[in-house]
Amino acid sequence: MRILVVAATSEEITPLVARLSSVSNGDAKIRRATYNSHDVDVLITGVGMVATAAWCSQSIARTTYDLGLNFGVCGAFDRALAPGSVVHVVADRLAELGAEDHDTFLTIQQLRLLDDDEFPFKGGELVNADPPVNPALSRLPAVNGITVNTSHGSAASIAAAAARFKPRVESMEGAAFMYACLINRLPFAQVRSVSNLVEPRNRGAWRMADAIRSLGEAAISILDCA
């Protein structure tokens, strides 16, 4: 099986890369490796939706993959998801895609610039309706998320996003990865570990090391079951 592993930064998947064999540079962005009987291409896109969408689409167009896996950290709106928790994001939304109408936010669908179910969207979301059959993946909580260009860090914006979309997590790349996989018909999974609660910015409460460690454990388990 040839697998594309996608992360925004190399730090997020350091534990996974340490377990790979025969790591070498394929091109400017791809590192080629093996794990058990799998060929694994590791793509570090850089942070944000634009970089993720562009590099994922280029990689998928150039190489035929059997599976795409996005590993990264996230913030949690849901207080039940403690830092270090690992989740499978099965529905994601481009939270800022729309327009302000005075004090009201209008989604791109409400503006009638995109239909709710216009491919690859379903009900205004990007949905992984047919995730890969993988026992390690199936053990993770399935959650919905939002993808943002600006991470929420004020009480007012957090309350607005929570009321508007009722997300359980947020990231800066997830929906872009899902969009690229959906339009290219590539089976995929977006897996994230909670590094912090979404709250007024409090960097001291973040548990990045714990999140990366638990993400690495989940990633290896998923590859073991692939």
pLDDT at 26: 66
Give pLDDT, residue 25. 76
What is the pTM (predicted TM-score) of this model?
A: 0.94
| 135, HSE (Cβ side, Cα atoms, 13 Å) | 3
Spell out the domains of the chain, with CATH numbers in brackets.
2-225 (3.40.50.1580)
Q: Digits of tens for pLDDT over the chain (226 positions)?
A: 999 999 999 999 999 999 999 777 767 789 999 999 999 999 999 999 999 999 999 999 999 999 999 999 999 999 999 999 999 999 999 999 999 999 889 999 999 999 999 999 999 999 999 999 999 999 999 999 999 999 998 999 999 999 999 999 999 999 999 999 999 999 999 999 999 999 898 888 899 999 999 999 999 999 999 9
Asked whether the beta carbons of 83 and 195 are under 8 A apart, the reply is: yes
Q: Look at residues 40, 43, 44 and name the one whose alpha carbon lies nearest to residue 65.
A: 40
* Phi/psi at 95 (5° precision): -65, -30
Alpha carbon distance 109, 113 (integer Å): 6
Round to whole Å and give the CA distance between 217 and 163: 33
